[in-house]
Chains A and B, each alone.
Chain A
Amino acid sequence: MSFSIYGQALSSRLLIGSALYPSPEIMKKAILASDSQVVTLSLKRQNPNAMGGEQIWRYIQEIVNVKQGFLLPNTAGCKSAKEAVTLAKMSREIFATDWIKLEVIGDDYNLQPDAIELLVATEQLIADGFKVLPYCTDDLVLCQRLHDLGCQVIMPWASPIGTGKGLMNPYNLETIRLRLPNATLILDAGIGKPSDACLAMEMGYDGVLLNSAIALADNPVAMAQAFSLAVASGEKAYVAGLMPERQTAHPSTPTLDTPFWHHHGATK
């Protein structure tokens, strides 16, 4: 099955972050190893004397050129719709893309998205021509509202950013998939293991976005490959169709002509 974001066909269903790697070189190798075509990045104040950011930016441009990929700027750190809208506009000018990973954080402790500000920002950005990829909680009604506003892509969290706790509430995530069959659903944040990514894909999610689980691995390059395989495996399994879960055991070996059966019968 093909995968696209706002009409842009993509070969990989894994979207990858560019932060937290041990070095820019490892970041580059890991992103290339992931097969991902979409790389997230951000904008921040920077001491003009510190040129490190420019090096990272050059590396990310090289990666995107090599992979014929796409930049996905985020609005990390924004706590209001106004801040997020301003940062989105600044990103659009710099990165020449109308894609925006919209983050509006409502709580410093668990970095939970502020649903109300998120909806306000989404409405304004869509009106201004942006293609919004909102990072949100696993709340069905919030996802529905975002979809109604015009978000073709919705990105509920698996668990809080950077926790690696995996899918906190599979029921909620499955419900969102079931109830929004036409939305492109990308699981974003909290993924810790390749099996988490695989599970999301087996549920029918269209893609997975992650950063920390790869960047903070002992070997980020190998972990990037592991996630690439997990996402592809989960998607293949979903398409193949999982067997229905059953409450009682069913022998997988045929019972017809079972040897020694008469012994059991003979004792009665």
Chain B
Amino acid sequence: MNIFINGEQVSLFEQASVADALQQYLTEQQQALTFAVALNSDFVANSDYATTCLTEHDTLDVLFPIQGG
């Protein structure tokens, strides 16, 4: 199936979870960074990554801390 991570199309196996998607999208080093996730514009808690399954055309936002005013 295809989903979108930060606007980029990513191909994943069926029944993939948020954790699977992150593992594929981010390198091991990047997975150690600080980030938070939203699925179809809803917050997904870190503790739910492994149990939240994705479906075709889902959109995942992976956000990182940046400077802000």
Given A48-B30, A90-B38, A53 contacting B45 (CB threshold 8 A): no
Q: Does A27 contact B (CB under 8 A)?
A: yes
Whether A90 contacts B43 by the Cβ 8 Å rule is: yes
For chain A, the count of residues having a C-beta within 8 Å of the partner chain is: 36
Assess whether A62 is interfacial by the CB under 8 Å rule: no
Q: Which residues of A contact B66 (CB under 8 A)?
A: 19, 41-44, 46, 53, 56-57
Closest to A95 in B: B65
Interface mask (A66-101 → B, CB under 8 Å = 1, otherwise 0): 000000011010000011001101110111000000
Q: A44 — which chain B residues lie within 8 A by C-beta? A: 63-64, 66
A74 touches B69 (CB 8 A): yes
Q: Using a Cβ–Cβ cut-off of 8 Å, how many residues does chain B contribute to the interface with A?
A: 26
Q: Which residue of B lies closest to A161 (CB)?
A: B69
A41→B62 CA distance, assembly (Å)? 16
> Does A18 touch B at the CB level, under 8 Å?
yes
Q: State whether A48 and B26 are in contact (beta carbons under 8 Å apart), knowing that A27-B67, A41-B65 are contacts in the complex.
A: yes
Q: Are B68 and A73 in contact (CB under 8 A)?
A: yes
Q: Closest CB of chain A to B2's CB: distance in Å? A: 18
Nearest 5 A-B pairs (CB), nearest first? A42-B68, A17-B69, A211-B69, A90-B36, A89-B43
Given contacts A40-B68, A86-B38, 14 further A-B contacts (CB under 8 A): A17-B68, A18-B68, A19-B66, A41-B66, A41-B67, A44-B66, A45-B7, A46-B6, A56-B65, A56-B66, A87-B38, A90-B43, A93-B46, A161-B69
